[in-house]
């Protein structure tokens, strides 16, 4: 019968068992037979057809935030999830840095509960799991949103949400089993231990800032130019279909060191995905290329080329690349060494979100807004302050030669979503720093430190210093749960900018005073002191001002990076 199952009986007889043996609820129905499932106790359910259209196929792997999860292979009308009630799910000895849960709540609000992780050495650790509601939860943090909900009275055009939530585990121990919380209305479809990224360092990354109309591109190859922070003997690429409603097909991909323009220095080297030349990336999911023996130089431009054999009308993008990339004429041009097949240019980074290199000591992530993103810096010059910070790290031996990942998003805020988190939109200010923290910081490769430099857009939009401080505190608290270091930067002056009123300046000063005195963070980067005009502390020094009185120019960005105490990283 819909919603039924024998999971509790199986567990009590056998102890921890694979999660699918605990399934006691049916969430998925065929559109023609909505009565065969009852996800929420009111007869409502997910559409099997919508899931298929999103690329979430029975038994298929969905990689989200670096974790490989399996969508249940139950078939419609059969139990496909477990209502969390303290059951013990067998994991089997995997080790990693996090547990990932594919979940949703059905109580109309967030559902939370605490559970326990059992390790092979007999030790235990606790975790807390929160599942947003499948109908009312935030679109900004969902893994996927489906366009319909099946009900006994017919299909409704209402978005159904599914979420991937990660919680840290001891990275040096094997996880044997997981005791689920006691939490009515919390449904678990899948769980997995996320493999640790030891042996890899993030060299380049970009945050998805929105889901934009593109092209349209049909049978085109994109050749994106990205700049490495550190090098290594191996490489892997990460593609994210963030915020998407449909899968995207990558037919082939390659990597090369850039010569100039769209031309490669030597023949581009193909990458594979699970041994295949291409990959289909489900809506909301990721694809990692297989490790490739390829000498990645530090402080160099790479060409990452990937063929889109189908028609792509919208894609997740990082809008402000401050870099020119290229689009080919029709065909797979991933193997082209010359620039001849790439007649068109773009100024954003679609789909590609990460380049990792083998070895290295780990990664520093810079979480910020347009100043971190490099707005008003020289196009193609790699003069953003995280670029200059990477230069400094490579040139010294006081601290490890960390990779530096720039997760700045122009127009981003700590508190409010600029992009709503779903649908095609011209808005590319991203979801809030709080809502993108898990994806853009905590799930990044071998992250050790998160530098937080954000809040001026909140103040300019009317938030108070106290409100922004509360958001920054939450970021630090969450990052500390993952054992990250979290230095924070003071906000630079904006005097002279329309909208940077005396009231805004008072809030900026109050927030900076709080940052300097707060024990919440692992050090303060006093960017305000680095740029302000001593004669007019509410303004930048003219030589550091790009001219708009908000964004530093190249000299100002370099001054920010030069002011960083590297021992705080």
In three-state form (DSSP H/G/I as H, E/B as E, the rest C), the secondary structure along 131-161 is ECECCCCCHHHCCEEECCEEECCEEECCCEE
Identify any residues that bridge with 484 across adjacent strands, giving them in sequence order.
none
Segment holding 459, helix H or strand E: helix 456-460
Rounded to the nearest 10°, the torsion over CA 489, 493, 497, 502 is 110
Contact 162, 144 (CB under 8 A): yes
Beta carbons of 173 and 95 less than 8 angstroms apart: yes
Is residue 470 within 8 A of residue 458, CB to CB? The reply is: no
State how far the Cα of 230 lies from the Cα of 384, in Å rounded to an integer: 16
**554-562 vs 385-394: helix axis angle to the nearest 10?**
40
Give the distance between the most distant pair of CA atoms in the chain.
76
Q: Compute and round to an integer the Cα radius of gyration of the chain.
A: 24
Among 563, 530, 532, 564, smallest CA distance to 549 is for 532
Tokens of 448: 């050790």
Q: What pLDDT, on a 0 to 100 scale, did the predictor assign at position 14?
A: 61
Count CB-CB contacts under 10 A for residue 274.
Answer: 10
Question: What H or E segment, with its residue span, contains residue 408?
Answer: strand 403-408
Neighbours of 12 (CB within 10 A): 11
Token pair listed for 380: 């193609």
- Looking from the CA of 122 toward its CB, the CA atoms found within 13 Å total 0
The SS3 call for residue 508 is: helix
- What does the alpha-carbon distance between residue 445 and residue 11 come to, in Å, rounded to a whole number? 36
Nearest in space to 193 (alpha carbons), one of 99, 316, 130: 99
Tell me the C-alpha distance between 77 and 148, whole Å: 17
In the three-class reduction of DSSP (H, G, I as helix; E, B as strand; rest coil), residue 218 is classed as strand
In eight-state DSSP terms, residue 23 is -
Angle between helices 502-517 and 465-481 (to 10 degrees): 30
Going from the first residue of the chain to its last (569 residues), give the mean pLDDT of each consecutive group of 10, the final group possibly shorter.
40 76 98 97 98 98 97 94 97 93 97 97 97 98 98 96 97 96 97 93 98 98 98 98 98 98 97 98 98 98 98 98 98 98 98 98 98 98 98 97 98 98 97 98 98 98 98 98 98 97 98 97 98 97 98 98 98
Whether the CB-CB separation of 388 and 559 falls below 8 Å is answered with no
Yes or no: say if 294 and 66 are a contact pair by the CB < 8 Å rule: no
The whole-angstrom separation of Cα 244 and Cα 160 is 14
Q: Rounded to whole angstroms, how far apart are CA atoms 286 and 87?
A: 29
* Cα distances (angstroms) measured from residue 418 to each of 88, 185, 431, 476: 40, 30, 6, 22
Measure the CA–CA gap between 479 and 442, rounded to whole angstroms: 7
Which burial class, exposed, middle or buried, applies to 421 when counting CB atoms under 10 A from its CB (0-12, 13-18, 19+)?
A: buried
Q: Residues 434, 438, 444, CA angle at the centre, nearest 5°?
A: 130
Report residue 536 as tokens. Answer: 């007019």
Pairing of strands 88-94, 175-179: antiparallel
Sole residue written with tokens 């960017």: 527
Please write down the HEC assignment for all residues of 432-447.
CHHHHHHHHHHCCCCE
N- to C-terminal Cα separation, the chain: 56
Other beta carbons within 10 Å of 518 = 14
Q: How far is 8 from 88, CA to CA, in rounded Å?
A: 9
pLDDT of residue 198: 85
């Amino acid at each position: 019968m819909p919603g039924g199952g024998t999971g509790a009986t199986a567990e009590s007889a056998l102890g921890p068992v694979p999660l699918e043996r605990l399934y006691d609820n049916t969430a998925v129905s065929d559109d023609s037979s909505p009565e065969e499932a009852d996800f929420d106790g009111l007869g409502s359910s997910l559409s099997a057809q919508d899931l298929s259209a999103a690329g979430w196929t029975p038994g298929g792997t969905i990689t989200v935030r670096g974790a490989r999860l399996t969508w249940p292979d139950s078939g419609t009308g059969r139990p496909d999830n477990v209502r969390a009630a303290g059951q013990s799910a067998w994991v089997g000895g995997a080790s990693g840095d996090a547990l990932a849960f594919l979940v949703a709540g059905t109580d109309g609000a967030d559902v939370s509960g605490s559970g326990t992780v059992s390790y092979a050495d007999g030790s235990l650790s606790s975790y807390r799991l929160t599942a947003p509601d499948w109908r009312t939860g935030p679109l900004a943090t969902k893994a996927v949103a489906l366009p319909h909900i099946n009900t006994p009275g017919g299909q409704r055009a209402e978005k159904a949400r599914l979420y991937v939530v990660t919680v840290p585990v001891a990275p040096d121990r094997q996880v044997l089993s997981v005791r689920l919380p006691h939490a009515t209305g919390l449904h678990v479809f899948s769980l997995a231990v996320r493999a640790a990224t030891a042996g890899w360092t993030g060299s380049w990354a970009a945050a998805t800032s929105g889901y934009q109309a593109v092209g349209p591109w049909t049978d085109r190859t994109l050749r994106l130019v990205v700049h490495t922070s550190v090098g290594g003997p191996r490489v892997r690429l990460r593609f994210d279909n963030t915020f998407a409603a449909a899968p995207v097909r990558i037919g082939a991909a390659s990597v090369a060191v850039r010569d100039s323009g769209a031309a490669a220095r030597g023949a581009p080297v193909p990458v594979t995905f699970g041994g295949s030349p291409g990959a289909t990336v489900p809506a909301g999911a990721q694809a990692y290329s297989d490790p490739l023996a390829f000498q990645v130089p530090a402080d160099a431009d790479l060409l990452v080329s990937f063929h889109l054999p189908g028609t792509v009308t919208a894609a997740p993008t990082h809008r402000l690349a401050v870099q020119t990339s290229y689009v080919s004429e029709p065909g797979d041009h991933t193997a082209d060494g010359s620039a001849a097949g790439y007649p068109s240019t773009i100024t954003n980074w679609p789909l590609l979100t990460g380049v990792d290199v083998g070895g290295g000591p780990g990664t520093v992530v810079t979480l910020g807004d347009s100043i971190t993103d490099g707005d008003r810096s020289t196009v193609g010059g790699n003069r953003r302050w995280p670029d200059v910070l990477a230069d400094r790290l490579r040139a010294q031996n006081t601290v490890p030669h960390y990779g530096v990942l720039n997760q700045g998003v122009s127009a981003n805020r700590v508190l409010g979503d600029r992009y709503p988190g779903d649908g095609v939109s011209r808005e590319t200010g991203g979801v809030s720093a709080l809502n993108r923290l898990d994806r853009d910081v905590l799930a990044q490769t071998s992250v050790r430190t998160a530098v937080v430099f954000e809040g001026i857009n909140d103040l300019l939009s009317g938030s108070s210093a106290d409100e922004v401080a509360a958001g920054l505190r939450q970021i630090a608290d969450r990052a500390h749960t993952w054992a990250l270091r979290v230095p924070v930067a003071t906000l630079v002056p904006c005097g002279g900018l329309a909208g940077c009123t005396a009231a805004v300046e008072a809030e900026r000063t109050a927030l900076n005073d709080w940052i300097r005195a707060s024990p919440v963070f692992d050090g303060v980067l006093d960017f305000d002191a680095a740029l302000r005009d001593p004669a007019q502390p509410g303004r930048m020094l003219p030589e550091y001002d790009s001219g708009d009185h908000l964004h530093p120019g190249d000299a100002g960005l370099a001054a920010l990076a030069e002011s960083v105490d590297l021992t705080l990283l």
